[in-house]
Chain A
Amino acid sequence: MLLDALRREAPTDLVPETRVADAPPAPAPRPTDATGRGIAVTARDLRKSFDGHAVIEGLDLYLPAGGFTAVVGRSGCGKSTLLRLILGLETPTGGRIVLEGPQAGPRRSEPPKRIMFQEPRLLPWARVVDNVAVGLSGHGSRAERRERALAALAEVGLADKAGQWPATLSGGQRQRVALARALVSRPGLLALDEPLGALDALTRIGMQDLIERIWLSQGFTALLVTHDVAEAVALADRILVVEAGRIALDLRVDVPRPRRRGDPDLARLEGRILDHLLGAQPTL
């Protein structure tokens, strides 16, 4: 039902629209934000340097609530730093970041922001279900946390692994547990820091579909940092290409979902981004 609504909303013009960054782009069409708990992110003149070496240099950004944005770029371009700044894992050297949650509701129920790391980062000494319950730290009773953790595990298709040690799971399963842990608290912002980089190609595609499905049904704001342009094109409705600490390219992906792998529009878009990334490098 949700997917139908989206398909109807999607514009008929499939040619991706391009704009050079700087001026904040108009909000991308939001997926049916049933729950309306996405967090909108605004960054103004954001700067970050490590030991005098600038990584982010005067970056402006607006992420509308409920959107799925991918950030791509060569390694060392500052894309991971940008994500860590937005999550509050690093303090900016200059500029500011504003996160706006949904207006309604008391302050206490403000949806949290969550991150999925490149590695699963599961606690090896906690059972799978307890690892998921880590996502609910400080919320509710023990039994309540366990119940919600089991539900989140079922959502990622691992209900039968609840009592296992993480060491007995495969790499893809561990990353699914990490996804359940990120989602169990119903976040308003989910940041994904190359979470699928270490997985094999087939597992990765399965995970991409899972992430897309959950994003569509839960309506959080998703921010995916990746070096895999095909992954960005398959998942995001907006792609930011970061170069030397700035947004060099800001592309809308108006291909309707569910997206078919090998779709010519997606392939064309992927080609453009790759050309840009490779062309931006003076010599290899």
Chain B
Amino acid sequence: MRPTALDRLRDTAVPWLLPVAILLGWQAAVSAGLVSNRFMPAPLDVVRAGWEAGRTGELWTNLWVSTLRALSGFAVGGGIGFALGLANGLSRLSEQLTDTSVQMVRNVPHLSLIPLVILWFGIGEEAKLFLVALGVFFPIYANTLHGIRSVDPALVEMGRVYGMSRTELFTKVVLPGALPSIFVGLRYALGIMWLTLIVAETISASSGLGYMAMQAREFMLVDVVVLAILIYAALGKLADALTRQLERACLAWNPAYRSA
């Protein structure tokens, strides 16, 4: 049976029912005076705060600064993690040399380094970049390594027997085989990227979304604080949606990723 227009509409609408219901209930609770708007502003107040911050341009500047920090940290940490994951997956020597050290450092919560990082870099851009890069490094590293390890050895043997060169073996067998796992790492890393950045900005920054939220707290602007939190949620969702698109394009061969 072909899905009708109604079915499609229902499929798009259902995931949004719960968030919309929560918003409506929230607005109703605040309007009815059940919740003091000193602690929890009504959704409409948040929208107003957003409109105001957008009008003055403050919101966009902070959003831009945060995005730039997040992406550059991600590029540095993700790049190193990916490269080291590949190296350790392909070379036994490289793995013996570095894996133990990486596993040790991995178990240190990277946010516990904030005091040290502030001592090293102050509250400049380097501090944020360092923390984001460190946070993003581990999931990318671990999942790249795992992906390469779990490539079907039968396919690698086939590639060898059929005369593939080392480069071909890597680009046609090993890397595509590791890709589903690498994507898992990517999605984890994107979550950690925002988390780290917001914490770092909340503690030590003079611009960015986290800074905006902390400033608002100083002046008891609850609506701006909630606005910042909602923007984090939206950014997280956006990053996740982009990864999904990328996954669907790159892993079209895998029935598990097709359509759905």
A interface residues with partner B (beta carbon < 8 Å): 87, 89, 112, 114-115, 117, 119, 121, 123-126, 134-135, 137-138, 165-167, 181
Range of interface residues on chain B? 20 to 34
Would you list which residues of chain B between 168 and 195 have a CB under 8 Å from chain A?
168, 172-173, 176-177, 179
Which B residue sits closest to A181, measured CB to CB?
Answer: B162
Which A residue sits closest to B180, measured CB to CB?
Answer: A125
**Interface presence of B157 (CB below 8 A):** yes
Contact A115 B161 (CB under 8 A): yes
**Interface presence of B155 (CB below 8 A):** yes
Contact B161 A89 (CB under 8 A): yes
Known: A124-B253, A124-B254. A137 touches B158 (CB 8 A): no
When the two chains form the complex, which single residue of A87, A126, A166 contacts B161, counting CB atoms closer than 8 Å?
A87
Residues of B within 8 A of A123 (CB): 155, 172-173, 176
Contact B165 A137 (CB under 8 A): yes
Inter-chain CB contacts under 8 Å: number: 52
When the two chains form the complex, which single residue of A87, A114, A134, A167 contacts B159, counting CB atoms closer than 8 Å?
A134
Contact A134 B162 (CB under 8 A): yes
Contact A119 B254 (CB under 8 A): no
Residues of B within 8 A of A134 (CB): 158-159, 162, 164, 172
Q: Tell me the complex Cα distance, A123–B164, Å.
A: 13
Residues of A within 8 A of B176 (CB): 123, 125-126
* Most chain A Cβ neighbours within 10 Å, of B163, B164, B254: B163
Contact A117 B164 (CB under 8 A): no
Q: Tell me the complex Cα distance, A205–B254, Å.
A: 30
**Interface presence of B255 (CB below 8 A):** yes
**Interface presence of B154 (CB below 8 A):** yes
Residues of A within 8 A of B154 (CB): 117, 119, 121
Q: Tell me the complex Cα distance, A155–B40, Å.
A: 72
Q: Tell me the complex Cα distance, A89–B161, Å.
A: 8
- Distance of A51 from chain B, by nearest CB (Å): 19
Q: Tell me the complex Cα distance, A47–B255, Å.
A: 44
Residues of B within 8 A of A121 (CB): 154-155, 157-158
When the two chains form the complex, which single residue of B155, B161, B173, B255 contacts A167, counting CB atoms closer than 8 Å?
B255
Residues of A within 8 A of B159 (CB): 134, 137
When the two chains form the complex, which single residue of B158, B165, B177 contacts A138, counting CB atoms closer than 8 Å?
B165
Q: Tell me the complex Cα distance, A114–B176, Å.
A: 24
Would you list which residues of chain B between 217 and 260 have a CB under 8 Å from chain A?
251-255
Q: Tell me the complex Cα distance, A134–B160, Å.
A: 11
Contact B158 A165 (CB under 8 A): no
Q: Tell me the complex Cα distance, A126–B159, Å.
A: 13
Which A residue sits closest to B251, measured CB to CB?
Answer: A125
